[in-house]
Amino acid sequence: MTKKKGIHFEVSERKVLLRILDLVMVFFGVYILSMSFDFEYIEVSKSNSIALILLGVYISIFGTIFELYDLQKASKLDSTFRNIIITASTVVLFYLLTPVLSPYLPAERMQIVYLYLTIISSILLWRLLYMNLIESPRFYKRVLLVGEVSNIEGLVRALDTSDPNYKIVGFINSESSYKEAVKFKGLKEFEANSFLQTIEDEKISEILVASFNSEAITVEVYHDLMLLLERGFKIRDYTQVYEELLQKVPVQFVGKDFYKYFPFSRSNENKLYIYFQRGFDVVVSLLGLFFGLLIAPIILIGNVIGNKGPLFYTQERVGRNGITFKIIKLRTMVVNAEADGVKWAKKNDTRITAFGMFLRRSRLDEIPQFINVLKGDMSIIGPRPERPFFVNELSRIIPFYETRHIIKPGLTGWAQVSTRYGGSVDESLTKLQYDLYYIKHRSIFLDFNIVIKTLSTILYYRGQ
């Protein structure tokens, strides 16, 4: 069998490509603008290096906040165009507000409009090329799944919407098959005895092994896998790909070998990282409480009109190592909302007041929790603290649930910016997967990513 692989880009490669080409196209656009017109506001030259670096930094930061580098949205023209407009508008506004680093305002104010339109058209041109070239089928990663038929449907569904360029073209049953066996019709099945030929015919670039009982793999399939491995063909474990593409830990597929899946981040024991995080917590909390004092009159008026009752409420939550503490929040529900017993919060919950919904969507109800952060009960970033009642209930149903308590809970976190509010057991399982991913990969870079995504959540009014 000859080794033929199509050209494809990994997720990380596409994100880097988007960022770099955005900047290249903008700088090229500014260069063309200065060459073609009497444009003096900013020129591509060594003397303007600081101003150009600042422009690049703004594009990168605000592009992240306004989701220009979300691969799902980057593959759609409508969402891409909207995000480019918002990003360019914010970049130009901030560029004008930093005259010490950016160029002085030009005498002809229309040059600012020229810069604005150049940023939009330059990025849009590159993104149209990206959608029609990089996102085209010729760059898809064609994957062959090897696993048990009974698990195929759940495995395919989990990865189906994770990456538009990751295409599972079919599967091979790794178990011995017989006539009465249940067949899966949602994905093309290839015969095990034509394993090597299938890879060549279908131009497969990666094999995904999803067998949860390695002893059940037939000798024939095992032999072909070993042969492919010796030839340098790319073979990966399903859980590894799941975690890489969905950025959450697949706890539902973790069995007795759980210790293999949780080599938790060194940052959990890194003293420098812990000191840095605590310093970040204190600084952000003080700034957050100061902001809370500035908007306190608006909150008080809104509470009197829309909430009609106490402004604050406290509730017991489970913190690090299972130790409980009292969380402080602005009240968003009616008084005695749980008179009939503890209930899950849900979408369109009738217990939430009109003003309370505004507080939740804008995340303003979280401001008093900065006090909990200063006290050391919480951190700015971490798993969301849950109530003891739900912890006891969920830990009996969901494996590894209490593992999320090995670090401090957070005001925001990877689960909060990646999925919706956990108002059921299934949604709590999804949140746990994201929480464990954060604990496993915790780092300054991931924390910064969460902060940026939190800003996106607030600006797009997605809080719940």
> What span, in angstroms and rounded, lies between the C-alpha atoms of 404 and 410?
11
Residue 178: predicted pLDDT: 55
Q: What is the mean pLDDT of the chain?
A: 85
Q: Does the pLDDT of residue 420 top 50, yes or no?
A: yes
Lowest-pLDDT range of 230-239, 419-428, 446-455 = 419-428
pLDDT tens per residue, range 71-98: 888 888 999 999 999 999 999 999 888 8
Most confident listed range (261-265, 291-295, 457-461): 291-295
Q: Which two tokens stand for residue 406?
A: 């090995």
Q: Which two tokens stand for residue 393?
A: 């209930």
Residue 2: predicted pLDDT: 47
pLDDT tens per residue, range 29-41: 989 888 877 777 8
Residue 81: predicted pLDDT: 95
Residue 455: predicted pLDDT: 85
Neighbours of 99 (CB within 10 A): 10
pLDDT tens per residue, range 191-241: 888 999 999 998 898 999 987 767 778 889 989 999 999 988 999 988 888
pLDDT tens per residue, range 139-195: 888 899 998 777 777 778 778 777 778 888 999 988 776 554 555 667 888 988 899
Task: Specify the higher pLDDT residue, 127 or 183.
Answer: 127
Helix 425-441 × helix 444-459 angle, to 10°: 140
Q: What is the 3-state secondary structure (H, E, C) of the chain?
A: CCCCCCCCCCHHHHHHHHHHHHHHHHHHHHHHHHHHCCCCCCCCCHHHHHHHHHHHHHHHHHHHHCCCCCHHHHCCHHHHHHHHHHHHHHHHHHHHCCCCCCCCCCCCCHHHHHHHHHHHHHHHHHHHHHHHCCCCHHHCEEEEEEECHHHHHHHHHHHHCCCCCEEEEEEEECCCCCCCCCCCCCCCEECHHHHHHHHHHCCCCEEEEECCCHHHCCHHHHHHHHHHHHCCCCEEEHHHHHHHHHCCCCHHHCCCCHHHCCCCCHHHCCHHHHHHHHHHHHHHHHHHHHHHHHCHHHHHHHHHHHHCCCCEEEEEEECHHHCEEEEEEECCECCCCCCCCCCCCCCCCCCECHHHHHHHHHCHHHCCHHHHHHHCCCEEECCCCCCHHHHHHHHHHCCCHHHHHHCCCEEECHHHHHCCCCCCHHHHHHHHHHHHHHHHHCCHHHHHHHHHHHHHHHHCCCCC
Where do the domains of the chain lie, and which CATH numbers do they carry? 11-132 (no CATH), 140-246 (3.40.50.11060), 266-459 (no CATH)
Task: Specify the higher pLDDT residue, 345 or 393.
Answer: 393
pLDDT, mean of residues 301-309: 87
The strand pairing partners of 93, in sequence order, are: none
Local confidence band at 301 (pLDDT 50, 70, 90 cut-offs): very high
Half-sphere exposure (CA, 13 Å, Cβ side) for 383?
33
Please state, for a pLDDT cut of 70, what percent of the chain lies above it. 89
Most confident listed range (75-79, 82-86, 248-252, 426-430): 82-86
Residue 356: predicted pLDDT: 86
Local confidence band at 308 (pLDDT 50, 70, 90 cut-offs): confident
Residue 53: predicted pLDDT: 92
pLDDT, mean of residues 103-115: 81
The pair phi, psi for residue 293, each rounded to 5°, is -65, -35
Residue 6: predicted pLDDT: 59
